[in-house]
Amino acid sequence: MSAARLTFLTALAMLAFAGNSVLCRVALRDTEIDPATFTTLRLISGALMLWVLLHWPGRGARGTGGNWTSAVALFVYAAAFSWAYIQLDAATGALLLFAAVQVSMLGIGLLRGERLSPVQSAGFALALIGLAALLLPGASTPPALPALSMLAAGVAWGLYSLRGRGASNPLADTAGNFVRAVPLALALSALTLPWLSVDANGALYALASGAITSGLGYAIWYAALPGLRASAAASVQLSVPVITAAGGLLLLNEAPSLLLMIASLAILGGIALVIGGPKAASR
């Protein structure tokens, strides 16, 4: 793959990931759709898009992969993500999500015996301080329950990502996990039926989030991943909260607070040190 094509695909994937936050926020802020219906439509349309891509003529695909444990993690991520965006700004939500994903993955690695160098340890501590500063009570602090919901979404996505490492066919596994997550989302919608609310615009945003920024976005990302070093693949995702903040400013008229900007620098800078810092010497 040429460098230009790789750059283009990577940029498209990051735009798609940021687009999920913008679409979800605008749907739950400006339309009548409820979070359970948004989650259900997102997972259904994502499953359909991934199935189509997997069975596209010439691919030779014969079925999907995945497993129920990963599907549950995917469902928890999608549901918690939707509920969080009832109140959170797009940029705040994306930062909380990204921080929770990375911190949870790093934390699990440490529990499994991985070691960090002094520079990486300092970066990890800086990210935690930035996250704590963002969540401490104050005038600019995001609402507690939506913030906790987004943190839960990030932990679920971190677990999902860890389970997917080393998959021989990530597109097939993702398709299978989306398919398995659909009945879980339908059950959630049934449980919240008294609060069901949807309109045409909300449904369109949910379908676009599932089919385009989720299903197609993941397919593009998996196409780019083989051409990226592991450090580059991790580092480039630092751009997602920044792109989301720009999208929130331009499309949703959201102005980031000073606290959010300072916390963003601490969290993203700290994670960048962990990703790009010197590795711990092996014993």
Q: What value does the mean pLDDT of the chain take?
A: 88
Q: Are 150 and 88 in contact (CB under 8 A)?
A: yes
Angle in degrees, CA 216, 197, 94, rounded to 5: 45
Determine the Cα–Cα distance for residues 157 and 35; give it in Å rounded to an integer.
Answer: 18
Classify the C-alpha dihedral 105-107-113-118 as positive or negative.
positive
Structural domain contains residue 11: yes
Is 153 a domain residue? yes
- Across the chain, the runs of DSSP E, i.e. the strands, are none
Q: List, as own/partner pairs, every contact residues 225-229 make where C-beta atoms lie below 8 angstroms and the sequence separation is at least 24, other chains included.
A: 225/170, 226/1, 227/1, 227/6, 228/6, 228/10
Q: Which residue has the tokens 């300072």?
A: 262
Residue 84 within any structural domain of the chain:
yes
Task: Specify if 26 maps to a domain.
Answer: yes
Position 182 in a domain: yes
Residue 209 identity (one-letter amino acid): S
In a domain, 283, yes or no: no
**What pLDDT is stored for residue 205 in this prediction?**
97
According to the model, what pLDDT value does residue 142 have? 86
Q: What is the pLDDT of residues 75-112, one digit of tens each?
A: 999 999 999 999 999 999 999 998 898 888 888 888 87
Q: Is residue 19 part of a domain?
A: yes
Number of domains in the chain: 1
Contact criterion met (CB below 8 Å) for 90 and 247: yes
DSSP-derived letter for residue 227 is G
How far is the first Cα of the chain from the last one, in angstroms, to the nearest whole number?
38
What is the SS3 assignment for 71? helix
Residue type at 141 in one-letter notation: T
Question: What are the tens digits of pLDDT across the range 207-266?
Answer: 999 999 999 998 898 888 888 876 677 778 888 998 999 999 899 998 878 888 888 899
**So what's the pLDDT on residue 189?**
96
Phi, psi of 226, deg, nearest 5:
-60, -25
Q: Note down the domain range covering 258.
A: 3-276
| The pLDDT of residue 110 | 81
Instruction: Report yes or no on 282 lying in a domain.
Output: no
For residue 214, give the amino acid letter: S
User: What are the two backbone dihedrals, phi and then psi, of residue 22, each rounded to the nearest 5 degrees?
Assistant: -65, -45
Give the pLDDT band (50/70/90) at residue 4. confident
